[in-house]
Every structure is written in structure tokens, then in C-alpha cells.
């Protein structure tokens, strides 16, 4: 069965998920998680992107980011670099990541915040049911408690939680606790986490862009008899 073509556009936010091959564990200890952070740090300079939220689970990382480059190029670099690191450290042979990464375009409104909440409460949905404040490998503590994290670009919508840092953090903690409403947020068959209105407007924008590109190309030949 042919793969669905990835939808790409400028000035959009993506929710990215990359899974270990056959659900294998991709992160074993602090050194692995921080090696992944270092890779994100490195490529944020080379192929710029803004990372708003993340959660690195044992066998898959979640990233909510806005790239200023081709998303496939960025993720190829990140995934290849971490796979090389892992294979060198553990002597792993064969495929490391399962298939290509998944990407969902997220509208920059309430869907963005709901997606952030879905990502940061991932540990709570595991067998261990780890609360987000007890899980160190996510962006939650940056927003909820002001913990420093130099790989994060602050989510522009975080400003809506209050006027002061203390108000924002308190309101964010309350917001995250309402995660039960996000159970149906992601449709695996879709490439969007957004309203239908947003999806239609994005496709209209892409169509206009394609028309503009055609106009800028080589002029059509006029055949004369």
C-alpha cells in the first residue's frame, strides 16, 4: 500500500512522533535523553526551528515545533544523528526507527494548547501512570514551574494564561489537569490537529502558492501552423 504524501507548508506547527523499530526502547538513561537534547540543540542552529513543547518517552519522542526549513530535512538529520549515537553506544545493528516519522499540522489556536497538553501528559497514560510533574524529560516543568530548558522557545499562546509568571504557571498547571478532554484529539488517519475551517484555509493557501509558482516558471510555448 503506497504511503500518504506528507503535507508541507510554510509557517505551520507540527506535532512530530518517531517510534523505535518494533517498539524497541530508544532511551535507557539520562545520558541518552541528554544526547537527544544535544542533537536538538545542534540542529536548531543549523536548520532553525522553534520547539514549543516536547516529551521524550522510552521508545518515542514527541515534538511540537515550528520549523523554518523543510520538516523532512530537519527530522532526517535529528533521527539519523540519534540512531548513529545509539548504535555506537549499544552496538545495535539494523533498523533503529520504525518507518518514517509521523507528522500532524497543528493550528495555532486552542488546538495547539490541547496538543501540548496531550504531549506533556503522555507519561500519565503509561502503565506506571507517571504524573507530568514527576517526569523529567518533557517541557511541562518549564511552563508549570519555570524550570530552565534552553531547547524550548516559549509557546506564543502561553501568554494567555496570565499577566505574571506566577499566574501563568498556576493557570497552566490547572489546564494540564484537564487532559481527559484530549482522548480523541489525534486521528491516526489524518495529518491535522485542527478545525475543518483551518484545514480548508490551508489547502486554499497551498493551491494559491502552486498557481503562483506556475506563473513564475518558463512561459508556455505558443505553437503556430
**What residues does 64 pair with on adjacent strands?**
15, 53
Q: Quote the CA–CA distance of 211 and 176 in Å, as a whole number.
A: 42
- Answer positive or negative: Cα dihedral of 126, 83, 4, 108: positive
C-alpha cell, 100: 518514517
**What residues does 194 pair with on adjacent strands?**
none
> pLDDT tens digits for 177-214?
998 778 789 998 899 999 999 999 999 888 765 554 55
Q: Quote the CA–CA distance of 169 and 86 in Å, as a whole number.
A: 35
Mean pLDDT across the chain, nearest whole number?
90
DSSP E strands: which ranges in 68-178?
102-106
Q: Tell me the whole-structure pTM to 2 decimals.
A: 0.90
- Give residue 223's pLDDT: 35
> pLDDT tens digits for 87-144?
999 999 999 999 899 999 999 999 999 999 999 999 999 999 999 999 999 999 999 9
For each of the domains in the chain, give its residue range(s) and CATH number, in order of start.
Answer: 13-178+187-198 (3.30.70.1290)
- Give residue 210's pLDDT: 58
- Give residue 206's pLDDT: 83
Q: Output DSSP code: residue 20.
A: B
Q: Quote the CA–CA distance of 15 and 39 in Å, as a whole number.
A: 18
Amino acid at each position: 500500500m503506497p504511503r500518504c504524501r506528507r503535507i508541507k507548508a510554510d509557517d505551520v506547527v507540527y506535532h512530530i512522533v518517531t517510534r523505535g523499530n518494533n517498539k524497541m526502547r530508544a532511551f535507557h538513561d539520562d545520558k541518552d535523553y541528554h544526547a537527544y537534547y544535544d542533537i536538538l540543540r545542534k540542529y536548531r542552529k543549523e536548520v532553525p526551528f522553534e520547539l514549543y513543547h516536547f516529551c521524550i518517552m522510552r521508545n518515542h519522542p514527541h515534538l511540537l515545533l515550528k520549523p523554518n526549513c523543510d520538516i523532512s530535512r530537519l527530522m532526517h538529520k535529528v533521527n539519523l544523528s540519534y540512531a548513529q549515537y545509539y548504535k555506537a553506544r549499544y552496538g545495535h545493528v539494523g533498523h533503529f526507527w520504525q518507518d518514517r516519522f509521523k507528522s500532524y499540522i497543528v493550528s495555532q489556536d486552542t488546538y495547539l494548547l490541547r496538543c501540548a497538553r496531550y504531549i506533556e501528559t503522555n507519561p500519565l497514560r503509561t502503565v506506571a501512570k507517571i504524573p507530568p510533574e514527576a517526569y523529567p524529560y518533557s517541557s511541562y516543568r518549564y511552563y508549570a514551574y519555570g524550570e530552565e530548558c534552553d531547547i524550548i522557545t516559549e509557546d506564543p499562546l502561553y501568554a494567555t494564561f496570565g499577566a505574571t509568571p506566577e499566574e501563568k504557571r498556576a493557570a497552566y498547571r490547572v489546564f494540564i489537569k484537564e487532559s481527559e478532554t484530549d482522548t480523541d484529539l489525534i486521528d491516526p488517519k489524518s495529518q491535522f490537529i485542527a478545525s475543518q475551517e483551518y484545514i480548508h484555509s490551508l489547502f486554499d493557501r497551498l493551491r494559491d502558492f502552486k498557481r503562483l509558482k506556475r506563473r513564475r516558471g518558463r512561459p508556455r510555448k505558443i505553437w503556430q501552423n
